[in-house]
């Protein structure tokens, strides 16, 4: 695709697809240019640098989160919907979790999300710093919960890039982890039961933690007299 027919939007969209497939380590301008049918120099002309492209892609995916209408939705339902959407987005785009440690991901997409999140907690009755703290508490829980699937996705992609049998290597790594866990009684008990497979119900685990946090925030509102 010649430079004059490329757009920044096309480049960012294709970069997101490449990041989803290959992770942060798999993104380079040559691979991106190949997907676009264009030279790497043309991509640079539109986005400036790889780092800038990652920040653009990292901000764009925040647009995927729906903003509940606070005129028709109570604050707790709205908070649950936004948190669930964010968790799903971070799971779809696992590279974003890794990017938070190395890039300043903030633009119109994330600002849109953050502003509406604050509106939810203000609607609940939190004011000023309290609303900031409530939103930050929920966000850090979501980010922490997304770390495990993000790490697993990154590890799987790394195994694939290294040229080995990713499935066999993953099985070997899991077997070693089980050997270590089996030395500790509570972990061993869970390995010996069906509930040990945490991957069977990740959504239940996430919702359990989210609702526990919202219970705590609701209790604070009652204590504040709201």
- 22-26, 92-96, 154-158: segment of lowest average pLDDT: 154-158
102: left (phi over 0), alpha (psi -120 to 50) or beta: alpha
CA dist 49 and 151 (Å) reads 26
Domain with CATH 1.10.357.10 in the chain: 66-224
pLDDT at residue 130 in the model:
96
Average predicted confidence (pLDDT) for the chain: 89
Joined tokens for residue 146 = 């997304």
- Kindly state which CATH superfamily the domain 3-48 is placed in: Homeodomain-like (1.10.10.60)
What's the Cα-to-Cα distance from 171 to each of 15, 96, 193, rounded to whole Å? 30, 26, 19
Query: Can you tell me the distance from the alpha carbon of 158 to that of 76, in angstroms, rounded to the nearest whole number?
Result: 39
pLDDT at 166: 66
State mean pLDDT over 56-84. 98
- What global pTM score does this model have? 0.85
Answer whether residue 45 shows pLDDT above 60.
yes
Q: What is the pLDDT of residues 119-140, one digit of tens each?
A: 999 999 999 999 999 999 999 9
Which of 89, 92, 84, 87 has its CA nearest to residue 68? 84
CATH of the domain spanning 66-224: 1.10.357.10
Look at phi and psi of residue 224 and say left if phi exceeds 0, alpha if psi is from -120 to 50, else beta.
alpha
Residues of the chain within CATH 1.10.10.60 domain(s) are: 3-48
Assign 4 a pLDDT band (cuts: 50, 70, 90).
low
């Amino acid at each position: 695709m010649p430079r004059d027919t490329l757009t920044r939007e096309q480049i960012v969209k294709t970069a997101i697809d490449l990041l989803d497939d290959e992770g942060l380590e798999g993104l380079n301008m040559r691979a991106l240019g190949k997907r676009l049918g264009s030279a790497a120099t043309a991509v640079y002309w539109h986005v400036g640098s790889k780092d800038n492209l990652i920040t653009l892609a990292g901000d764009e995916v925040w647009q995927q989160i729906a903003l509940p209408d606070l005129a028709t939705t109570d604050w707790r339902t709205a908070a649950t919907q936004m948190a669930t959407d964010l968790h799903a987005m971070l799971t779809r785009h696992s590279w974003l979790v890794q990017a938070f440690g190395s890039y300043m991901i903030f633009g119109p997409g994330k600002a849109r999300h953050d502003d509406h999140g604050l509106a939810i907690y203000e609607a609940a009755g939190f004011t000023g710093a309290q609303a900031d703290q409530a939103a930050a508490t929920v966000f850090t829980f979501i980010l922490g919960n997304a770390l495990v699937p993000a790490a697993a996705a990154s590890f799987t992609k790394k195994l694939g890039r290294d040229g080995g049998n990713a499935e066999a290597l993953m099985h070997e790594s899991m077997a070693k982890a089980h050997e270590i866990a089996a030395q500790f009684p509570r972990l061993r008990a869970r390995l010996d039961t069906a509930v040990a497979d945490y991957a069977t119900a990740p959504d239940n685990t996430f919702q359990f933690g989210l609702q526990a946090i919202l219970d705590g925030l609701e209790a604070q509102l009652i204590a504040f007299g709201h």
